[in-house]
Amino acid sequence: MQKKLKELYIQYRSKIKLTENITLKEIYYEIIGQRKNSITVEEKNKEIEFTNIWTKVAGIKNDIHREFLYKIIHRAVLTGEKQIDRGIRGIDPQCKYCNRQFETFEHLFIDCKELRMFRTYVIQNGQSEDPNFEISKKSLLLVEIKTELIPIIYGYTHTVWACRHFGDTLNLYKLQMKYHKDQEIYRKYN
């Protein structure tokens, strides 16, 4: 996070006025204000205090896992919708699981009917550790998620993301196996 903040500061330093007592958070919000047409996850969810979330993410030891969850929280994974927004040509923006809906973040990770059984499996797995565990917009922001449940969120999101191009060869069993492997790898390196 600090590396990313430093890169953004270097990019926008001519437009940011530093004072003696300015905090990193204030610098971050100054940078956000300089970015055109960009609404951040913090701006969309002003009712949520992100300090605890960023502390959880900063505590993830593995850079690849931390970066992936950071992208999940910021809704920055490259879905069909994002590819169209960025002007990428020659892609099919449909959901690769159902092939009926536009692939948005919410559709892919929360709403896709083809992933309903897999989501149910993951929720039941998470409820063995926390009876209130669910997969929702808030849980994918890591809001009120216990640290021991982060491997479940990582396993779920990474499995859905990584397997979406496997098409017809994918079934519930394969998703479950990949999910458990992703969780195991996360726990091993964090």
User: Any bridge partners for residue 102, and if so which?
Assistant: 94
Q: Report the range of poorest mean pLDDT among 21-35, 64-78, 107-121, 168-182.
A: 21-35
Tell me which amino acid residue 79 is.
T
pLDDT attached to residue 127: 93
* pLDDT score at 143: 85
Is the pLDDT at 149 greater than 80? The verdict is: yes
HSE on the CB side for 33, CA within 13 Å? 10
For residue 150, the model assigns a pLDDT of 94
Quote the crossing angle between the two packed helices 24-34 and 2-12, to the nearest 10°: 50
Q: What is the pLDDT of residue 21?
A: 77
- pLDDT for 25 equals 67
Which residues are bridge partners to 94 per DSSP? 102
Q: Name the DSSP letter for residue 2.
A: H
- What's residue 29's pLDDT? 65
Report the pLDDT value the prediction gives residue 55, as an integer from 0 to 100. 84
For the stretch 4-47, pLDDT in tens is 666 766 766 666 677 777 776 677 666 655 544 456 777 777 78
pTM recorded for the entire structure? 0.76
- Look at 9 and 133; give whichever has higher pLDDT: 133
Is pLDDT larger for residue 75 or for residue 121? 121
Handedness of CA 124, 156, 58, 103 (dihedral sign): negative
pLDDT at 185 over 60: yes
94: nearest Cα among 108, 113, 73:
108
- DSSP conformation class of 110: I
Give the model's pLDDT for residue 158: 96
What is the pLDDT at residue 50? Answer: 78
More confident residue, 22 or 61: 61
Looking at residue 1, its pLDDT comes to 56
